[in-house]
Structure 1
Amino acid sequence: MRPSDPAAPAFVRLAAHPLRWKLLTELAASDYRVRELVERVSQPQNLVSYHLRLLRGGGLVTARRSNFDARDSYYHLDLQQCAHALTNAGTALHPALGFAPTPPLPSSARLERRPTVLFTCTGNSARSPIAEALLRHRTDGHVEVTSAGSHPKPCLHSDAVQVLREQHGIDISGQRPRHLDTLVGHRFDYVISLCDKVREVCPDFGDRPRLVHWSIPDPAAATAPGPVGHPAFVRTAADIDTRIRYLLPLLTLTPQEVQP
């Protein structure tokens, strides 16, 4: 290679490795613990951990301690960061390729029936009702969505209600937490857990729904109740909204089109 030849963009160098690409594709579907990734990619734990460190160093993957078992960590693929990295790689190849990809909205023309999505967390007072409200808002009724908790609180967290109203113009003040047991027997295409504890106790809904985990900290545990638009709840809603935007294109895919 001549000294003046440009190096491949960082994303290309990171993603080109077969094992790292496999880890990226697994994490694109759900957050996972190391031992789960080891099983899914059929590689030794030390090798998987090494490549996860490289992906974290490249800013594509993040990790956080599990709220269920602090000895575990959940790994998460930052799809927004991947979108920017892909755009930068495209620009390096040709300026005309430097346009940030935007996840498309579900097309009702492709839907034989409305997809069904269940969001779960422990108390069903903050994370899961925020996700339910944001998905319903973004799909304008084209998706049937609900939420529930393993140990529902008596009412929604006031900061969750206020952040949705102030930041997104959504009013969920009349909603009440519900128990997961009330939904047993219902059919769902996606069951998405938003806290590490509920993932371990979520009931089996049959019909093989697609199980997805989003390891998101409880904003109510981050700090004491505060003013309207509490920063922890603002960050949580923004994180959930980003994840939902990247979920939207999958909701119109057939089971055969979705990666296992």
Structure 2
Amino acid sequence: MASPAHAAPAFLRLAAHPLRWRLMSELAAGDYRVRELVELIGQPQNLLSYHLRLLRDGGLVTMRRSTFDARDSYYRLDLDRCARALAATGAALHPALHSILTAAGPVPPPAPASAHRPAVLFTCTGNSARSPIAEALLRHRAGGHVEVTSAGSHPRPHLHLDAARALREGYGIDLRDWRPRHLDSTAGRRFDYVISLCDKVREACSGIGGHPRRIHWSVPDPAAEKAGYPAFVRTAAEIDTRIGHLIPVLTSQEASS
């Protein structure tokens, strides 16, 4: 029997199980409910729930109650936590691997303009906080290599003041002239990705054409929280983290177009 000093790291023990790896792979793309994972993976719900609990106990997966139906929950893979765990796992094998796995590496040069830029649509109910934050952050970080817009099923008259403030103070983005849009305004447009940030609006954009890849990010409405402006700061930070994970996916699509 291996001594504790030579036992495999916890991340390796968790991720090496075939079913848990499949769960992590599905959740790496977006947030899912258990019954959706059952359909995707083809295993019984009680078995998937057991392995999801192990991933939650290990800190790799988080669960959030649906804001549309509180009887449902969405599961999310913490990609940042996975990256840190991978680096620690490499270091446990050999110290030299830690520097390799954590090295930022050179900043890649801007990709040449291609005939097709990936088109992304962000959606939420009011298009006044979460989806315009996502639109602004992706446009800011993608450097013109992504076509991005946002819309809502029931748009508010104006962008929420705290959403504008969070973008201005946290990221230097000015949206003073921005106005919410209705999903109808996207009719006839082709999108490669439709990303819903609101549990309620997830089904409202099912008729969008072009056979886009649909991704769900279960992000609570900061305007519904009692925390005020700090809730918008947290929401922007969470969305920014997700945007950081999305950009390599979009970049690889652009390069292959």
What TM-score bracket applies, with the shorter chain setting the length? over 0.9
Contact preservation (8 Å) 2:152, 2:181: yes
Gaps of at least 5 residues in structure 1 are none
- Tell me the distance in 2 between the aligned counterparts of 1:113 and 1:37: 32
Are the structure 2 counterparts of residues 2 and 167 from structure 1 closer, same or farther at C-alpha, using a change threshold of 3 Å?
closer
- Corresponding residue for residue 195 of structure 1: 198
Q: In the alignment, what sits opposite 1:8?
A: 8
- Displacement of 1:253 in angstroms is 2.6
| Contact 1:61–1:77, Cα closer than 8 Å, also in 2 | yes
Unaligned residue ranges in structure 2 (runs of 5+): none
> Match for residue 39 of structure 1?
39
Distance 1:106 1:193, change over 3 A: farther
Other-structure match for 2:172: 169
Instruction: Spell out the pairing of 1:172-183 with structure 2 (5 A cutoff).
Output: 172-183=175-186
CA distance in 1, matches of 2:109, 2:251: 6
Distance 2:7 2:102 in 1: 22
**Alpha carbons of 1:232 and 1:21: their partners in 2 closer, same or farther (altered >3 Å)?**
same
Q: Which residue of 1 aligns with 2:61?
A: 61
- TM-score scaled by length of structure 2: 0.93
> So what's the TM-score if we normalise by structure 1?
0.92
1:66-111 CA-to-partner distances (Å, cap 9, x unmatched) read: 1111110000011111111111111111112113365977952384
**Aligned alpha-carbon RMSD (Å):** 2.0
Following superposition, the deviation at residue 6 of structure 1 comes to 1.1
Counterparts in 2 of 1:118-133, with a 5 A limit?
Answer: 118-133=121-136
Partner AA of 2:243 in structure 1: I
Q: Whole-Å Cα distance in 2 between the matches of residues 106 and 113 of structure 1?
A: 18
Q: Distance in 2 between matches of 1:205 and 1:222?
A: 30
1:31 CA drift (Å): 0.3
Q: Is the 8 A contact 1:105 1:249 kept in 2?
A: no
Give runs of aligned pairs for residues 12-91 of structure 1, distance below 5 A: 12-91=12-91
Q: Partner amino acid for 1:91?
A: A
In structure 1, C-alpha distance between the alignment counterparts of 2:104 and 2:62, rounded to whole Å: 22
Aligned to 1:249: 248
In structure 1, distance between residues paired with 2:110 and 2:41: 33
Please give the secondary structure, in 2, of the residue aligned with 1:196. coil
For residue 207 of structure 2, what is the aligned residue in structure 1?
204
Q: Which residue of 2 aligns with 1:100?
A: 102
Q: Contact conserved, 1:65 with 1:72, CA < 8 A, in 2?
A: yes
